[in-house]
């Protein structure tokens, strides 16, 4: 293949993260790029309308370009185009197929319809035209006619706006496309595989569809149909079904198109297969951290108050409120407790304000501090226990980074937390427990587990030694760099797939 035709070795496709938003996935991405200085990277990040596009990270020298794409925002485009009615009518079947699990084939049909004309298509035709209105009405009448039409209208606009904004966005030139989630980012990577013929891979930190299912189930702006009668059969689909089916379809398209489907631990693979992933494509590459850096930090429990910390974004999926309730219970046995919440607070300002109000309501003002984003190295030496109360996680870096310092953790039974704290099935010799795993939203159990670590010096020492040795043996960053470096090298040398669409709109 002609390498001169590509401007980057790897295009990383991200959603709502690096380099604009701090967090675990962003840090993982930053470390991956820095750990492979011999490769060039183009960053394409999908962001919501109105997002702050200030860089939160200093970009490594091997990042050749950063392209933000705003979801659900399209240029106006031409007011009308030739064959407009036929074009919009032809979109109905593949769109319905895509959101009902049709996978990459359905996406390819949408690309075939919109792709050759993306320079002239925009909001005026795809969302605001009479033909787009008819497409919306037809889809509503076909499946969701028992829901509120007004609510369906705005849901359709949001979902189709996201889909169309991805299809018309510029395509960076690269030799490998690597998405760090399914969802919209996975859909863009699938589009890249279909259009360019270059390999694509996905690394799922958390299972995107599971996280969206949780958020959609909790959403108070989506209403379920009322139950009618005494029958056990559900009478019809509602808007929550519409949103969930769409994200399941997007994940299926990503799985179909990608050459390899990577996750951080084996427990995730059952979810991937259930969502349509080919078992033959699955692989596990655990997260790793800079063990020499963190293990060199001095950790002492002397001369200060017992200190715990939740390290993460202040957002609902981290369930900071359960952490605060656990702190209230914990102060009964550890009255001098100091409790930190360490992470960005601006992502969901309403939730942050609710957490601040809860601190005041529970009388925790003397114990709890919200630090915002901080440099962990400055804090880890003075923390005794990490507390993770998340509703959903993958393989939390904070447990590994703190573990390298010798700090044990209490975590909810999500993602790979049990594996990190108790060891993998192939751990030999077994290193023992490195803390405790508790149920979701159980402040009482969380408080009891933290209290045991803080008050039982022998148990604390055993847990501290276990997590430090486990991270040293199984979770070093250098091993991750080797794994991805070998994969990138293999895919870079692969020839273009036959039948790829022309890339006349690719960007450097």
pLDDT confidence of 499, banded at 50, 70, 90?
low
Q: What is the pLDDT of residue 1?
A: 37
List own/partner pairs for 14-17 with CB under 8 A and 24 or more apart. 14/43, 14/44, 14/45, 14/46, 14/179, 14/180, 14/181, 14/185, 15/45, 15/46, 15/180, 15/181, 15/183, 15/184, 15/185, 16/45, 16/46, 16/47, 16/48, 16/51, 17/45, 17/180
Q: What are the distances in angstroms from CA 363 to CA 74, 99, 325, 360, 389?
A: 48, 47, 11, 5, 20
Q: Are strands 10-15 and 41-47 parallel, antiparallel or unpaired?
A: parallel
pLDDT confidence of 213, banded at 50, 70, 90?
confident
Of 222-226, 328-332, 483-487, minimum mean pLDDT range: 222-226
Across the chain, which distance is largest between two alpha carbons, in Å?
Answer: 77
pLDDT confidence of 222, banded at 50, 70, 90?
low
What's the rounded mean pLDDT across residues 310-315? 96
Q: What is the pLDDT of residue 394?
A: 80
Question: Of 469, 382, 399, whose CA–CA distance to 436 is shortest?
Answer: 399
What's the rounded mean pLDDT across residues 410-419? 94
Whether the pLDDT of residue 169 is over 80: the answer is yes
Question: Of 412, 421, 414, 491, whose CA–CA distance to 463 is shortest?
Answer: 421
pLDDT digits (tens, 9 = 90+) for 116-162: 999 999 999 999 999 999 999 999 998 888 888 999 999 999 999 99
Contact in structure between 160 and 126 (CB atoms under 8 Å): yes
Q: Give CA–CA dist 499/490, Å, rounded.
A: 21
Sign of dihedral through CA atoms 402, 406, 412, 418?
A: positive
Q: What is the pLDDT of residue 127?
A: 97
The DSSP 8-state label assigned to residue 338 in this structure reads E
What's the rounded mean pLDDT across residues 446-452? 98
Q: Give CA–CA dist 468/407, Å, rounded.
A: 8
What's the rounded mean pLDDT across residues 314-331? 97
Q: Give CA–CA dist 263/205, Å, rounded.
A: 6
Contact in structure between 30 and 18 (CB atoms under 8 Å): yes
Q: Give CA–CA dist 463/455, Å, rounded.
A: 13
Q: What are the distances in angstroms from CA 436 to CA 281, 418, 446?
A: 33, 8, 9
φ, ψ dihedrals at 63, nearest 5°: -85, 115
Q: Give strand pairing partners of 372.
A: 342
Helices (H) and strands (E) in the chain, counts: 18, 15
**pLDDT above 90 as % of the chain:** 80
Question: Of 299, 367, 371, whose CA–CA distance to 330 is shortest?
Answer: 367
Q: What is the pLDDT of residue 237?
A: 66
CA dihedral in degrees (399, 405, 410, 416; nearest 10)? 30
Q: What is the pLDDT of residue 224?
A: 54
Q: Give CA–CA dist 40/49, Å, rounded.
A: 28
pLDDT digits (tens, 9 = 90+) for 225-279: 444 444 445 445 678 888 999 999 999 999 999 999 999 988 889 999 999 999 9
CA 356 to chain centre: 26
Whether the pLDDT of residue 220 is over 80: the answer is no
Extract the tokens encoding 40: 């060039």
Extract the tokens encoding 442: 């159980």
pLDDT digits (tens, 9 = 90+) for 369-379: 999 999 999 99
Residue 332 burial (C-beta neighbours within 10 Å; 0-12, 13-18, 19+): exposed
Question: How many other CB atoms sit within 10 Å of the CB of residue 29?
Answer: 23
- Sorted by where each starts, the structural domains of the chain and their CATH numbers stand as 8-74+146-223+238-287+482-507 (3.40.50.2000), 291-475 (3.40.50.2000)
Whether the pLDDT of residue 7 is over 60: the answer is yes
3-state secondary structure 60-90: CCCEEEEEEEECCCCCCCCCCCCCHHHHHHH
Question: How many other CB atoms sit within 10 Å of the CB of residue 162?
Answer: 19
Whether the pLDDT of residue 508 is over 80: the answer is no
CA 422 to chain centre: 24
Whether the pLDDT of residue 489 is over 50: the answer is yes
**DSSP-based three-state secondary structure for 470:** helix
pLDDT confidence of 507, banded at 50, 70, 90?
low
Contact in structure between 192 and 177 (CB atoms under 8 Å): yes
CA dihedral in degrees (313, 317, 323, 324; nearest 10)? 80
Q: From edge to edge, which strands make up the β-sheet containing 385-388?
A: 368-372, 338-342, 307-311, 385-388, 409-412, 435-438
Contact in structure between 481 and 36 (CB atoms under 8 Å): yes
The mean of the pLDDT values for the chain is 91
Q: Give CA–CA dist 435/308, Å, rounded.
A: 13
Q: Give CA–CA dist 150/153, Å, rounded.
A: 5
């Amino acid at each position: 293949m002609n390498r001169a035709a590509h401007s980057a070795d790897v295009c990383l496709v991200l959603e709502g993260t690096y380099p604009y938003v701090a967090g675990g996935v962003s840090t993982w991405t930053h470390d991956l790029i820095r750990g492979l200085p011999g490769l060039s990277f183009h960053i394409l990040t999908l962001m919501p309308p109105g997002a702050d596009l200030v860089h939160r990270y200093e970009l490594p020298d091997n990042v050749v370009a950063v392209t933000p794409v705003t979801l659900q925002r399209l240029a106006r485009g031409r007011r009308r185009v030739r064959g407009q009615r036929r074009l919009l009518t032809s979109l109905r079947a593949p769109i319905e197929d895509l959101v009902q699990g049709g996978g990459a084939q359905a996406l390819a049909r949408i690309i075939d319809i919109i792709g050759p004309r993306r320079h002239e298509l925009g909001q005026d035709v795809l969302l605001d035209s009479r033909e787009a209105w008819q497409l919306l009405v037809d889809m509503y009448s076909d499946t969701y006619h028992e829901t509120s039409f007004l609510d369906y209208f705005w849901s359709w606009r949001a979902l189709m706006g996201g889909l169309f904004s991805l299809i018309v966005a510029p395509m960076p030139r690269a030799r490998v496309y690597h998405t760090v989630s399914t969802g919209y980012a996975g859909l863009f990577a699938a589009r890249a595989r279909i259009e360019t013929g270059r390999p694509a891979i996905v690394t799922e930190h958390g299972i995107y569809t599971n996280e969206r299912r949780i958020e959609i189930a909790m959403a108070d702006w989506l209403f379920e149909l009322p139950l009618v009668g005494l029958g056990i059969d559900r009478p019809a689909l509602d808007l929550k079904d519409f949103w969930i089916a769409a994200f399941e379809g997007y994940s299926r398209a990503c799985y179909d198109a990608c050459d390899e489907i990577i996750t951080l631990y084996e427990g995730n693979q059952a979810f991937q297969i259930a969502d349509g992933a080919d078992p033959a494509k699955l692989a596990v590459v655990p997260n790793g951290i800079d063990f020499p850096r963190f293990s060199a930090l001095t950790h002492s429990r002397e001369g200060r108050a017992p200190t715990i910390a939740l390290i993460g974004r202040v957002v609902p999926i981290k369930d900071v409120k359960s952490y605060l309730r656990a702190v209230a219970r914990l102060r009964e046995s550890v009255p001098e407790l100091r409790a930190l919440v360490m992470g960005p607070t601006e992502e969901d300002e309403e939730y942050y304000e609710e957490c601040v109000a809860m601190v005041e309501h529970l009388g925790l003002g003397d114990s709890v501090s919200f630090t915002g984003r901080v440099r962990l190295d400055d804090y880890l030496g003075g923390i005794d226990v990490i507390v993770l109360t998340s509703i959903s996680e993958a393989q939390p870096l904070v447990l590994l980074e703190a573990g390298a310092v010798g700090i044990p953790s209490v975590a909810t039974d999500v993602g790979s937390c049990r594996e990190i704290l108790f060891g993998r099935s192939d751990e030999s010799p077994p290193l023992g427990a490195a803390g405790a795993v508790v149920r979701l939203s159980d402040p009482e159990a969380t408080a009891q587990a933290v209290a045991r670590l803080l008050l039982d010096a022998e148990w604390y020492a055993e847990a501290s030694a276990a997590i430090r040795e486990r991270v040293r043996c199984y979770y070093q960053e250098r091993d991750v760099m080797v794994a991805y470096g070998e994969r990138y090298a293999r895919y870079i040398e692969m020839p273009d797939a036959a039948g790829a669409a022309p890339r006349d709109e690719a960007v450097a």
